[in-house]
């Protein structure tokens, strides 16, 4: 049965793609978005920020009724008062329904406050608008801000219709990145609980407004931005009002809008893996693309143009009716076979590796030929490896950024580094899980102890240090700034800062540039330059590269099918462990999926899939576990079990890097043997 109302959640889904409205309403369509309120609460902190916002508005009345019509009736009664503050007020009119986070009524004036866990920085000159357009005098909402502002714009639209005699003002309340907490332990006053699949935040008994110190949230009036959106044009040139009416009509007639495919379809939540599609679990994505492209289902289930790694031309290709990766031509990518980076002597640099477009064309060619063999730049890899100093060090961090700071003097979304793992490989191939760090104490600020432990681990030798992607370099840069701010209370701050600079490099936007004498090498960057496996599907995530490497390397298969890890190879968390395990069909299992689950009610794939906004999808499980240990009631026994499981996952992250390097060394040895023959 079609829903009666166009709610703000449905509007959020449909304003960018009206076709999705049908799929969202009809539950026979599968949806890849995580529908887990508890996990979402842990991930983005929105529930806690919402409760904190209520504490900043004492005396408010909460509309707890879940039934929409009854909630709207209760709201109407309260709005007859001269002055009132309501939480979760329900406004309905003409088939529209919104629940407002905070509604302030003062006489004839209504303030709508939408609370978001997103951060705001008042020092950002362009604010909600695109910088380039603003310089031309044109106010165009930034893409990152558009979903939040469309949300409050829809609420404002409904409120204006539902309360025609009132003056409506609109606000976003967000975490203030420039604000510092003036008390400790604010986060511990808001605990996340789940009861009968209902997720809520419980405010600790006795919590009062004056216990929360200065506000770490900021309320920004967005009347101007809402007006900009009201005057914007959307799909098929519709105004905001026409868009709302169009969506209302789709609901009323239970109609699916005509599909309009584009590059954004890559992220469509209704695009299901082929193996997940069933007669009762349909793919809305496939329905759209079948109708819009005329492709057969067989072809549609082959790689599409936006499945090409880092493809910035998907939009152009789709507009040219080029939909399949196999139909891409080399000139479409303007590809060159090799990098044209020059050395000081003027020759082509053999260590420069693949250019972005050359790597793309490699993926296209292998897809066209159905070639699953890996690509190696033997010359570039050998040249790169010749610069390494043994023993090699492999490190991985687990971190998070929380909306509500733990400690006095800290800002929202400051980096927290709570775990690392460290493997060492010697020149003769001896491997050791050398050290690790984990700190889950509730309310603790672990960063400085984290760096001290990391420094102790990495100064036991002078070998090359490896990270995978930019995360570790970014985190250490952030901790360095925290050390600078804490100079008065941290006696060894300068020693730690100097050491951080030794193993890192400055970011592009840093005021002062540096590159440390022992600057970490990004193994992910080396993957991009010198190695490509079709088995990764174009992804460079370590969670995709490791399974590909294990399927390709007979050397690793033979070595790690034996239970030598935790015996011949010293480990802090494993004993007599064999990493190579196979399913009933003889396929090698992903090592991450063979580990004991961190939580019985949350699987690894679900936890990792949720954290994409932070560009840390690979670390989603650890971030979720950290939040759960901080913000829920957990026994010491369960805390110990979760900590043990996380140590294993993080250890695998660094050992995955070791196995990738082992694979490369073995390939180069075999290549040298062929050359000698």
- Strands 167-176 and 109-120 turn out to be parallel
pLDDT of residue 338: 46
Q: Strand, helix or coil at 109?
A: strand
pLDDT at 645: 86
Q: What is the mean pLDDT of residues 448-472?
A: 97
Distance CA 324, CA 651 (A): 39
- pLDDT (0 to 100) of residue 40: 62
Q: What is the pLDDT of residues 64-85, one digit of tens each?
A: 999 999 999 999 999 999 999 9
CA distance 180 to 183: 9
- How far is Cα 91 from Cα 79, in angstroms, rounded to an integer? 10
For residues 466 and 390, give the distance between their C-alpha atoms in angstroms, rounded to a whole number: 12
The model's confidence at residue 343, banded by pLDDT at 50, 70 and 90, is very low
Give the tens place of pLDDT for each residue, 647-670: 999 999 999 999 999 999 999 999
Whether the predicted pLDDT of 63 surpasses 50: yes
Q: What is the pLDDT of residues 591-631, one digit of tens each?
A: 998 988 766 555 555 555 444 433 333 456 777 777 777 77
- The angle subtended at Cα 590 by Cα 273 and Cα 653, nearest 5°, is 115
Q: Which of 408, 405, 426 is nearest to 416 (CA)?
A: 405
CA distance 535 to 552: 9
- Which pLDDT tens digit goes with each residue over 15-39? 989 999 999 999 999 998 866 556 6
pLDDT on residue 299: 96
Taking residue 205's Cβ as centre, other Cβ atoms within 10 Å add up to: 6
Would you put residue 461 in left (φ > 0), alpha (ψ -120 to 50) or beta?
Answer: beta
CA distance 24 to 575: 47
Residues 95 and 4: their CA atoms lie apart, in Å, by 6
Between 613 and 583, the higher pLDDT residue = 583
Residue 444: per-residue pLDDT: 78
* 550, two tokens: 């294990």
159 neighbors 112 (Cβ within 8 angstroms): yes
Q: What is the pTM of this model?
A: 0.90
Whether the bond between 391 and the residue before it is cis, its omega within 30 degrees of 0, is yes
d(CA 468, CA 618): 11
**Mean pLDDT (the chain, rounded):** 89
Q: How far apart are CA 311 and CA 359, in angstroms?
A: 11
- Which pLDDT score, from 0 to 100, does residue 335 have? 46
Higher pLDDT: 188 or 594? It is: 594
Q: Is the pLDDT of residue 246 over 90?
A: yes
Q: What is the mean pLDDT of residues 96-109?
A: 97
- Say which DSSP state 129 is in: B
Rounded mean pLDDT, 473-501: 96
pLDDT per position as a tens digit, 189-208? 887 777 666 677 788 888 99
Q: How confident is the model at residue 509 (pLDDT cuts 50, 70, 90)?
A: confident
Rounded CA gap, 591 and 656, in Å? 9
Compute the average pLDDT of residues 357-382.
96
Q: How many alpha carbons fall within 13 Å on the CB side of residue 80?
A: 5
pLDDT tens for each residue of 405-458: 888 888 998 889 999 999 999 999 999 999 999 997 777 789 999 999 999 999
Mean pLDDT of 567-572: 97
Give the chain's length: 677
pLDDT in tens, 602-611: 555 555 544 4
| pLDDT score, position 125 | 78
**604/376: higher pLDDT:** 376
- Residue 26's CB: how many other CB atoms inside 10 A? 13
| DSSP class of 281 | B
Residue 346 has a pLDDT of: 41
**Is 530 in contact with 339 (CB distance < 8 Å)?**
no
pLDDT at residue 34, rounded to an integer? 60
Are 20 and 32 a contacting pair, CB within 8 Å? no
On the question of pLDDT at 339 being above 50, the answer is no
pLDDT of residue 345: 41
Q: What is the dihedral of CA 347, 350, 355, 360, to 10 degrees?
A: 130
φ, ψ at 577 (rounded to 5°): -105, 135
From 463-477, 525-539, 663-677, the region with the lowest mean pLDDT = 663-677
**pLDDT, position 279:** 86
């Amino acid at each position: 049965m079609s829903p009666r109302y166009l709610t703000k959640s449905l509007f959020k889904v449909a304003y960018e793609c009206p076709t999705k409205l049908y799929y969202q309403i009809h539950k026979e369509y599968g949806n890849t978005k995580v529908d887990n309120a508890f996990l979402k609460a842990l991930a983005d902190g929105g529930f806690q920020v919402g409760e904190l916002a209520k504490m900043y508005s004492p005396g408010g009345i909460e509309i707890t009724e879940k039934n929409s019509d009854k909630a709207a009736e209760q709201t109407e009664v309260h709005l007859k008062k001269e002055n009132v503050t309501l939480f979760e007020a329900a406004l309905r009119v003409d088939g529209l329904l919104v629940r407002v986070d905070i509604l302030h009524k003062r006489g004839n004036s209504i303030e709508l406050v939408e609370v978001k866990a997103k951060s705001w920085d008042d020092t950002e000159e362009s604010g909600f608008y695109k910088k380039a357009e603003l310089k031309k005098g044109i106010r165009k909402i930034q893409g990152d801000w558009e979903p939040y502002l469309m949300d409050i714009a829809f609420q404002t639209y409904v409120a204006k219709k539902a309360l025609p005699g009132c003056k409506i003002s609109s606000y976003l309340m967000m975490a203030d990145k420039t604000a510092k907490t003036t008390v400790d332990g604010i986060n511990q006053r808001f605990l996340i609980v789940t009861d009968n699949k209902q997720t809520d935040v419980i405010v600790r008994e006795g919590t009062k407004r004056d216990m929360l110190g200065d506000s770490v949230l900021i309320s920004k009036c967005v009347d101007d931005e809402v007006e900009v959106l009201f005057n914007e044009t959307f799909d098929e040139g519709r105004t905001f009002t026409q868009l709302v009416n169009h969506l209302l009509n789709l609901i009323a007639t239970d109609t699916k809008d005509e599909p309009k495919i584009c590059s954004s379809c890559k992220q469509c939540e209704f695009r299901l893996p082929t193996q997940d599609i069933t007669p009762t679990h349909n793919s809305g994505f496939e329905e759209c693309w079948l109708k819009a492209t005329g492709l057969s289902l067989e072809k549609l289930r082959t790689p599409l143009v936006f499945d090409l790694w880092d493809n910035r031309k998907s939009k152009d290709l789709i507009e040219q009716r080029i939909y399949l990766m196999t139909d891409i031509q080399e000139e479409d990518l303007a590809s060159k076979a090799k990098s044209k980076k020059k050395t000081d002597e003027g020759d082509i640099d053999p260590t420069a590796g693949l250019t972005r477009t050359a790597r793309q064309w490699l993926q296209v060619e292998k897809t066209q030929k159905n070639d699953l063999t890996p690509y190696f730049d033997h010359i570039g890899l050998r040249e790169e490896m010749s610069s390494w100093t043994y023993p090699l060090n492999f490190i991985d961090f687990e971190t998070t950024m929380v909306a509500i700071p733990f400690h006095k003097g800290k800002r929202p979304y400051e980096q927290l580094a709570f775990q690392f793992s460290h493997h060492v490989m010697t020149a003769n191939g001896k491997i050791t899980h050398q050290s690790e760090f984990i700190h889950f104490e509730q309310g603790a600020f672990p960063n400085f102890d984290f760096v001290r432990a990391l420094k102790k681990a990495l100064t036991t030798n002078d070998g090359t240090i490896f990270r995978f992607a930019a995360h570790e370099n970014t985190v250490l840069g952030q901790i360095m700034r925290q050390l600078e701010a804490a100079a008065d209370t941290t006696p060894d701050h300068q020693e730690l800062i100097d050491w951080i600079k030794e193993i890192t490099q400055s970011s592009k936007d840093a005021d002062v540039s540096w590159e440390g004498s022992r600057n970490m090498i990004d193994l992910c960057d080396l993957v991009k330059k010198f190695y490509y496996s079709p088995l990764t599907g174009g992804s460079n995530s370590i969670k995709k590269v490791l399974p590909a490497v294990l399927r390709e390397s007979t050397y690793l298969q033979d070595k790690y099918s034996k239970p030598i890890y935790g015996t011949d190879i010293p480990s802090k968390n494993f004993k007599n462990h064999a990493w190579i395990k196979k399913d009933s069909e003889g396929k090698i299992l992903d090592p991450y999926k063979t580990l004991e689950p961190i939580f019985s009610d949350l699987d690894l794939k679900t936890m990792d899939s949720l954290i994409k906004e932070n560009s840390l999808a690979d670390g989603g499980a650890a971030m979720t576990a950290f939040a759960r240990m901080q913000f829920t009631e957990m026994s010491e026994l369960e805390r110990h079990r979760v900590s043990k499981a996380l140590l294993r996952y993080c250890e695998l992250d660094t050992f995955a890097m070791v196995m990738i390097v082992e694979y490369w060394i073995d390939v180069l040895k075999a290549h040298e043997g062929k050359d000698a023959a």
